[in-house]
Amino acid sequence: MSEFSLIYTHFKHATTRHANTVLGIGDDCAISHIPPNNQLVSCVDTLVAGRHFVFETDPHAIAYKAVAVNLSDLASMGATPYAILVGLSLPKAMANDDFCKAFAHGLADACTPFGVELIGGDIAGSPVLTISVTALGFVPSNQAITRQGACVGDVVCVSGTVGLASLGLHRILDDLNGDGHANRPPNSLPHDLRQAMQYPVPQVALGGRLIGFANSMIDISDGLGQDLGHILTASGVGAVIDLNAIPSHALLDALPHAQKWQHQINGGDDYQLCFTMPSAKLDLFRQQNPDMPIYPIGQIVADKGLVFLHNKKEVGLLVKGWEHF
Amino acid sequence: MSEFSLIYTHFKHATTRHANTVLGIGDDCAISHIPPNNQLVSCVDTLVAGRHFVFETDPHAIAYKAVAVNLSDLASMGATPYAILVGLSLPKAMANDDFCKAFAHGLADACTPFGVELIGGDIAGSPVLTISVTALGFVPSNQAITRQGACVGDVVCVSGTVGLASLGLHRILDDLNGDGHANRPPNSLPHDLRQAMQYPVPQVALGGRLIGFANSMIDISDGLGQDLGHILTASGVGAVIDLNAIPSHALLDALPHAQKWQHQINGGDDYQLCFTMPSAKLDLFRQQNPDMPIYPIGQIVADKGLVFLHNKKEVGLLVKGWEHF
């Protein structure tokens, strides 16, 4: 089957048209109208089979996550997602209707809740399934929230539970440095773990509402410790984090402290937002957004570095995060 | 070496800053200002080792071409290139300074002539070197040239020689359906063949000048026959092409006709532009742009299909183009 018929059959109409698209998928390029007084926000993330997901993952879940992690990056700037372009490299055995249909549904299920359109795509043959997604979004001019800007005294917050995705991965692999194959199928996981690992929900609405409130923001992809570390480095500050304040889950609470903290601090793949804001703004945000819970977990301090407290005592935790090679 | 140190060391400063970039590579996303009265033009293309280039290709040439093919797509809409985002998946053995330095130079050498900035990147480990580039550009609102719009009577033109890249590939491989390894190193090719195959020049200036002249346009990536076919299908017309009028080269002219035509019609990878315009506009364009040669090769006709003439007699040529799987 040719690239063109695969694209036309499964991807050309996978998502609904966005009002800002002048010319969608199918020509050499897409053409888009940018809303007045907005800037373009763009990012790229690549997922590789056996590295970012186990080989046994459903095509639907692979596609969903490849999009979701990018929408999460847009959310972490306060941007409104608009569109994606997908570079898909797949083994010949997957260049068929079954795989592409499930994959296209996964793309659509990640895009549709946010009105995101697939405006560009390229399919190539490869021995290894690889998905590279570029996401485009809009943000009111000069309002984006970056990693820079955390101020001493800011409260450090997260948008929800961290550590579950890491626990899910741990449960299906015997060894985190394995060969990319699961020993137990992801579908065998308890619902909450499977959802956290395979179907993270990008915090798009919250990201947008934090404009005017948050001084700095990032999404938690490589681990709370490492990602918060990027904010600290970019802002030239440090932080003290209360481990007890990090939103948890019964499955994490059932673990010994050291294991739970490993998943929460070094686990990654949660796609919650981590952000900082002055405490007065935190109060105001909560008043104005009672439907949108956010969780203070610590404070920005002048002393550089990242300190973790448990019952007010410092705990020595090595921040590692995801090893890319 | 981590993703972050590779990106920081080799890619963060690989290209110069574009005036429209508000926030460049290094945060979760880039932020860009779109010029007033312009639309955004975007595309993605993925190159896979052993599929789109032989394994023996220099990292510099791989990176150059991954960018150039995307800038060519922008050029084919009449757009001005602005920026690229690169998703790079590479084997551990390549995650080192030597490879990344040469690769970053290749990116820069494709970007710099056009003022293009690398605004986003992601590096992942993979068994197979894969490069997915998204290119962004600007076009004056509602002025982009698409595949649709070719009119009966239009002259079909190309921007330069086609067939050389295909001949170059043929010369280093014994068999076009090989295993992705070259039998002779690409560096052993005659200069013109190597340049055509590894260092195609995206026709950016010409693409922009054709706004207001060309009714339809595409770049020749999969073969003149197949790509012109996309214009014909999108426009609901046919074309008659004079094989003798296609710009050639001494190395192609030295071949038997049938071989030469295979390279020219089905060869692909040339990244010249193919476009159509009324003959009066062709005369005007040539008057106004004496520095920019363009080559009429045939005419748009009402009868659908693609007819090739040699010395005014029809030649039966099967249009195949690149097989993606």
Q: Are B128 and A126 in contact (CB under 8 A)?
A: yes
Confidence of residue B234 (pLDDT cuts 50, 70, 90): very high
Averaged pLDDT of chain B: 94
What gap in Å lies between CA A51 and CA A175, rounded to an integer?
13
Q: Higher model confidence: residue B158 or residue A2?
A: B158
pLDDT(B177) > 60:
no
DSSP one-letter string for B172-204: H-S-TTS-S--SS-GGGS-HHHHHHHH-----H
CA distance B67 to B134: 8
Nearest CB among A28, A40, A48 relative to B73 is that of A28
Cβ proximity of A238 and A304 under 8 Å: yes
Q: Which residue has the higher pLDDT, A325 or A240?
A: A240
Residues in chain B closer than 8 A to A100 (CB atoms)? none
> How far A181 CA sits from the closest chain B CA (Å)?
14
A312: three-class secondary structure by DSSP: coil
8 Å CB contact of A126 and B128: yes
- Across the beta sheet with A117-125, the strand order is A117-125, A80-90, A130-140, A38-48, B30-32, B21-23
β-pairing verdict for A80-90 and A117-125 = parallel
Q: Which of residues 106-165 of A touch B (CB under 8 A)?
A: 119-128, 130, 132, 134, 136-137, 139, 141-142, 144, 146-148
Query: What is the percent of chain B where pLDDT is above 90?
Result: 85
Taking the C-alpha atoms of residue A58 and residue A99, their distance in angstroms, rounded to an integer, is: 9
pLDDT at A284 exceeding the cut of 70 = yes
With beta carbons less than 8 A apart as the criterion, state whether A22 and B77 touch.
Answer: no
Residue type, A106: G
- pLDDT value, residue A175: 57
Between CA A256 and CA A292 the distance in angstroms is 30
pLDDT higher than 70, residue A3: no
* B2 carries a ligand binding annotation: no
pLDDT tens digits along B81-98: 999 999 999 999 998 899
Which candidate from B77, B121, B136 shows the least CB-CB separation from A28?
Answer: B77
What pLDDT does B3 receive? 64
- B18, B27, B73: best mutation site toward chain A, by most A Cβ within 10 Å? B27
Partner-chain contact B325 A92, CB within 8 Å: yes
Chain A residues touching B89 at Cβ < 8 A:
46, 48, 128, 130, 132
**Which pTM value belongs to this model?**
0.95
pLDDT in tens, B2-48: 666 777 788 888 899 999 999 999 889 999 999 999 999 999 999 99
Specify the range with the lowest mean pLDDT, choosing from A244-258, B4-18, B116-130. B4-18
Mean pLDDT for chain A overall: 94
Q: What is the mean pLDDT of residues A23-28?
A: 92
pLDDT exceeds 90 at position A176 = no
CB contact under 8 A, A324 and B29: no
User: For the segment A71-116, what is each residue's pLDDT rounded down to a tens digit?
Assistant: 999 999 999 999 999 999 999 999 889 999 999 999 999 999 999 9
Long-range own/partner contacts, residues B243-247 (CB < 8 A, 24 or more apart):
B243/B308, B243/B309, B243/B310, B243/B315, B244/B309, B244/B310, B244/B311, B245/B295, B245/B296, B245/B297, B245/B298, B246/B158, B246/B162, B246/B163, B246/B295, B246/B297, B247/B158, B247/B160, B247/B161, B247/B162, B247/B295
DSSP alpha helix (H) spans, chain B:
3-6, 59-75, 97-111, 164-172, 191-198, 204-209, 224-235, 250-253, 257-266, 279-288
How much is the pLDDT for A26? 87
CB contact under 8 A, B324 and A2: yes
Please compute the mean of the pLDDT values over residues B135-157 and round it to a whole number: 98
| Residue pair B300/B150 in contact by the 8 Å Cβ criterion | yes
Q: Which of A32, A44, A85 is nearest residue B39 as measured by Cβ atoms? A: A32
CA A54 to CA B201: how far, in whole Å? 40
Alpha carbons within 13 A on the beta-carbon side of A222: 21
Lookup: tokens for B275: 């476009």
Of residues A278 and A186, more confidence is placed in A278
Establish how many alpha carbons lie within 13 A of residue B266's alpha carbon, considering only the half-sphere containing its beta carbon. 14
Q: What is the largest CA-CA distance in chain B?
A: 62
Task: Give contacts of A 223-262 with B, CB under 8 A.
Answer: 234
Q: Which residues of B touch A33 (CB under 8 A)?
A: 39-40, 141
A:36-65 residues touching chain B, CB 8 A cutoff: 39-48, 51-52
Nearest Cα residue to B295 out of B274, B268, B269: B274
ipTM surpasses cut 0.90: yes
SS3 A10: helix
pLDDT at B230 over 90: yes
Q: Inter-chain contact B87–A132, Cβ cutoff 8 Å? A: yes
The pLDDT of residue A78 = 98
pLDDT number for residue A180 = 84
